[in-house]
Every structure is written in C-alpha cells, then in structure tokens.
Amino acid sequence: MSAREWTNHAKPYAYGICGLSRDEFARYTPNEFNELLDAKISDRRTVWEFQDMIQARICEIVARCAGNKDVKTSDFFLLARDEPDRTPDTPETLESKLKMLTMSLGGQVVNRG
C-alpha cells in the first residue's frame, strides 16, 4: 500500500474516532497512528461493554418484575463476551430477547412475514 493509499484509508479514522485535526494527523507515523487507533478502539469497546452490562441488568430486572424468574443478566448481553460456555447470539436469539423485553414492558410484538 502506498503512502497516499494509507493516508486516504486512515483519514476517516483520524478525523472520526481519533478526533485529530489535519495538522495532528500529519505528525503521526503510520505505526504511531495505528497504536493510537488501537487504543481509541479499545477505549470505546470498554465503554460499550459497560453500557451493555448496565442495559442487560436493567432488562433482567424488568423481565423479573414481569414474572420471568428464570433470566440472568447475561441473557441480555448484546455484545459477545469472552466466556468459554457462551456462544455469540444468532439473529434469531437476539430477536427472541428483544421480543421478551418488549412484551415485559407491555409492548406488542408485530410479526413481519
């Protein structure tokens, strides 16, 4: 990959996720920029996991209040966790979780053909 190709590829990440100005971006070597980007992505992942944990806990509480006593927080995780006994959710599993949450909040589930 040429320097120009790399720069064009990296710009959206530099100006977006990393929040760099043009001048700041120009001061980074590719290796330095990649390290910065990896750190920013890791930080965002940590925030997403924390938010997912809070939202899953709220969903568990709502489901229990609605009478479903057989649920646990991990049933509502949307992000995959590094747990050996847990496989990532399939689209069908996620749909099932969302239907259960919708109904426990008093909503109505509309099946789409």
CB atoms within 10 A of CB 16: 10
pLDDT in tens, the chain (113 residues): 788 888 888 999 999 989 999 999 999 999 999 999 999 998 888 888 889 989 999 999 998 888 888 888 888 888 776 665 666 677 787 777 777 777 777 777 777 65
- The two most distant CA atoms of the chain are separated, in Å, by 60
- Confirm whether 19 is domain-assigned: yes
pLDDT of residue 6: 86
Question: How many distinct structural domains can be found in the chain?
Answer: 1
DSSP state letter for 77: -
pLDDT of residue 2: 86
pTM score:
0.55
- Confirm whether 110 is domain-assigned: no
| Full domain range(s) for residue 56 | 3-104
On whether the CB atoms of residues 98 and 75 are closer than 8 A, the answer is: no
